[in-house]
Amino acid sequence: DGDGLVVNAPNCVDCKATDVLGPRWTPREGGSGPAYRQM
C-alpha cells in the first residue's frame, strides 16, 4: 500500500537525520553513516 517507513543502507535513519539537521553536517563513519556490526 506504500504507507510506512522503509530503512535500508541508502535510506538510513542516521543519514536522513543528518539531512534534516543542516547542509553542513555529514554522516558519521566517513560520510556513509554508522557501520553497526550487530544489528
Query: Of 7, 5, 14, nearest to 34 (Cα)?
Result: 14
Mean pLDDT taken over the chain = 62
Instruction: Judge residue 39's burial from the number of C-beta atoms within 10 Å of its C-beta, 0-12 exposed, 13-18 middle, 19 or more buried.
Output: exposed
Q: Is 17 a residue whose pLDDT tops 60?
A: yes
Instruction: Decide: pTM greater than 0.75.
Output: no
Residue 39 or 36, more confident? 36
Domain count, the chain: 1
State which residues form the domain around 27: 1-39
